[in-house]
Amino acid sequence: MSAKNSTLATINELIAGSVGGAAQVLVGQPLDTVKTRAQIAPKGMFKGPMDILLQTIRKERFFALYKGMASPLLGISGVNSLLFASYGISKRLVSPFGQLTLPETAAAGAMAGAVNAILASPVEMFKVRMQGQYGGAQDKKLRVVAREMWKEWGFRKGVMRGYWVTVAREIPAYAAFYTGLSAFHSLHFQSPPYSSPFFTAYEYSKRRFSTHYGPNLPVWALLASGATGGVSYWLACYPLDVIKSRIQLQAAPPAGTPLQYIVREFRNVVAESGARGLYRGLTPSLIRSVPAAASTFAAFELTREFLEGVTGV
């Protein structure tokens, strides 16, 4: 691929990632609010995800489920653009020879996840702090939260709070997002012809559908492939996501090295709620991952196909 074509391909991935990111936020925000509140709410405040949903609607009205949406809606386009672009670049770095093997795809996904944390961490920190407000008189708008975090704690301890735990989450999460079990396809197709021990959830899904439908996949196949990757994402990293949300909501930045405060928060969760506390909110996360990831990848792929037709790359 020439330098010019490589640049055009990266631009295409950035634009398509922005469209995919916007679709993800709009579809997934209500269940994300339920998930986050399950992770961070004081013990005994809610009985479970359904109680969170009902209490939120009853006490704060339906649109409270979109609380904190401004941060990801403003930032997720950049986050997904960075993710998809870094994934595309990572694939070319791992192997410049066209289609990657499934283990190579896994490595590219992990690399992209590490890069993605740079933007994902502050976007999610502000979102979590907005979702951690329950409709009281002291609730603050996003601009006030952002101003206070910057004024009191600065960039590293304020805006980027939770960065290292986000990195720790993103590497296995996006390795799993692009690398997971192919359960969906084993239900619909013959056993896979790959001998690799890795089964790339999203890429493998696309490849198996391609053998049946050709290179131009139907929209439903893109939705199924994206949803498979989304479920794999959460199954790989959920306890770290719980720890990340709790750290980002704390009034003061965590003390010690990243490893020390991650382990300390892990122990705090287990002491409070047992091992089950590490998985609070997993059910709405898995439910959300299907439409959110599916809409993300459908919007991304359809936009990229359109741009490929326009630019020829």
Secondary structure of residue 280 in the 3-state scheme: coil
Pick from 6, 4, 19, 96: nearest CA to 305:
19
What pLDDT is attached to residue 75? 86
DSSP-derived secondary structure for 23-65? HHHHHHHHHHHHHHHHHHSPTTS-SSHHHHHHHHHHHH-GGGG
Question: Alpha-carbon distance 109 to 45, whole Å?
Answer: 37
Angstrom CA distances, 126 to 18, 38, 213, stand at: 19, 17, 42
The predicted-structure confidence for 215-247, as pLDDT tens digits, reads as follows: 777 777 777 777 777 788 888 899 999 999 999
Please check whether residue 76 is in contact with residue 21, taking contact to mean a CB–CB distance below 8 angstroms.
Answer: yes
Pick from 241, 115, 232, 222: nearest CA to 178:
232
What pLDDT is attached to residue 142? 95
pLDDT averaged per 10 residues in sequence order, the chain, 313 residues: 77 82 88 97 93 96 94 80 82 81 81 91 96 93 96 96 96 76 35 32 70 76 73 89 97 95 97 95 91 79 89 84
What pLDDT is attached to residue 211? 79
What pLDDT is attached to residue 179? 62
pTM for this prediction: 0.81
What would the two tokens of residue 133 be?
Answer: 């407000």
CA 295 to chain centre: 13
What pLDDT is attached to residue 32? 95
What pLDDT is attached to residue 173? 87
